[in-house]
């Protein structure tokens, strides 16, 4: 990663649009250093006027901010409250990626956060004139042997996550990339504390079921109930 103060960024355009944020491609290099160039993904959270907050209440339960004024503003969805929520989304995703990376989970490396923009590792091919993003798992049809390996990759990742007391919160084959036969889990702003959030176990079950359904549709017989049971056992082992 290029972290020099003299680095220059060039926006290469939109990679993905979403309800809460857009992801841009950014070329970063140090002038005069031909070997310094990297391609990053810049996730830019939308302003409070242009974001959809219909999902916020369920995910934000169990999270707290220090100031009671901010808590009240968040609860009433005032303009200020929405700005606080926007900041929580960005900070939550950056902090989550840092912790998950430390745990060895397959996530993009978080580079930096500035206001409502988070820079992170770009997952895809950077050779050639135009970077090509890794496909979403939903767009792929892996061969049987690879499909089985991908299932074990997913199960290991979810068990580590549950052991920390977390679940993704919005996990589906559209939030998983397939890069060089390895899964990469993306989009983490709504990461859920399974114990602290009153809907935590419901969300955990939904995450696991969404993924199991995709594997079953691709021809691999997996048991969603068995996986959910394993994840709940890991999440509650400390209590």
- State the sign of the Cα–Cα–Cα–Cα dihedral 55, 57, 62, 68: positive
Cβ atoms 62, 198 nearer than 8 A: yes
* Stretch 3-29: mean pLDDT: 83
Q: CA-CA distances (angstroms) from residue 207 to 50, 88, 227?
A: 27, 22, 11
Choose, from 170, 181, 207, 213, the residue flagged as catalytic: 170
Q: Give percent of the chain with pLDDT exceeding 70.
A: 80
Cross-strand partners of 136: 177
- Which has more pLDDT, 75 or 235? 235
Q: What is d(CA 158, CA 212) in angstroms, rounded to the nearest whole number?
A: 12
Q: Would you call 170 a catalytic residue per the annotation?
A: yes
* Stretch 87-108: mean pLDDT: 90
Counting other chains too, the contacts that 148-154 makes at CB distance below 8 Å and 24 or more residues apart are 148/220, 149/181, 150/178, 150/181, 150/183, 150/215, 151/215, 151/220, 151/222, 153/106, 153/182, 153/183, 154/183, 154/211, 154/215
Q: Give percent of the chain with pLDDT exceeding 90.
A: 59
- The region of weakest confidence among 15-29, 127-141, 196-210 is 15-29
Half-sphere exposure of 30 (CA within 13 A, CB side): 9
* Stretch 17-29: mean pLDDT: 87
For residue 52, give the nearest of 87, 21, 80 by alpha carbon.
21
The mean predicted confidence, pLDDT, of the chain is: 84
* Stretch 129-136: mean pLDDT: 92
- The region of weakest confidence among 18-27, 73-82, 165-174, 196-205 is 73-82
- Which has more pLDDT, 51 or 205? 205
The answer on pLDDT for 56 being more than 70 is no
For residue 94, give the nearest of 115, 74, 65 by alpha carbon.
115
* Stretch 129-153: mean pLDDT: 96
- Which has more pLDDT, 3 or 133? 133
């Amino acid at each position: 990663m290029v972290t020099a103060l003299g680095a220059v960024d060039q926006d290469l355009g939109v990679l993905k649009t979403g309800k809460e944020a857009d992801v841009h491609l950014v070329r970063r290099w140090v002038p005069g250093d031909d070997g310094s160039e990297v391609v990053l993904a810049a996730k830019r959270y939308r302003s409070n006027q242009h974001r959809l907050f219909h999902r916020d209440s369920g995910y934000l339960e169990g999270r707290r901010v220090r100031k009671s004024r901010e808590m009240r503003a968040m609860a009433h969805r005032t303009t200020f409250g929405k700005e606080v929520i926007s900041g929580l989304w960005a900070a939550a995703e950056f902090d989550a990626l840092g912790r998950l990376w430390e745990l060895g989970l397959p996530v993009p490396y978080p580079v930096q956060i500035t206001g409502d923009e988070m820079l992170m590792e770009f997952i895809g091919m950077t050779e050639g004139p135009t970077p090509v993003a890794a496909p979403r798992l939903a767009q792929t049809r892996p061969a049987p042997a690879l499909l089985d390996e991908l299932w074990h990759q997913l199960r290991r990742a979810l068990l580590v996550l549950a052991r920390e007391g977390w679940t993704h919160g919005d996990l589906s084959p559209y939030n998983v990339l397939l890069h060089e036969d390895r899964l990469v889990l993306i989009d983490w702003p709504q990461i859920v504390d399974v114990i602290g959030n009153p809907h935590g176990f419901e969300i955990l079950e939904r995450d696991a079921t969404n993924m199991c359904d995709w594997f079953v549709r691709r021809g691999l017989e997996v048991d969603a109930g068995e996986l959910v049971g394993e994840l709940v056992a890991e999440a509650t082992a400390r209590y």
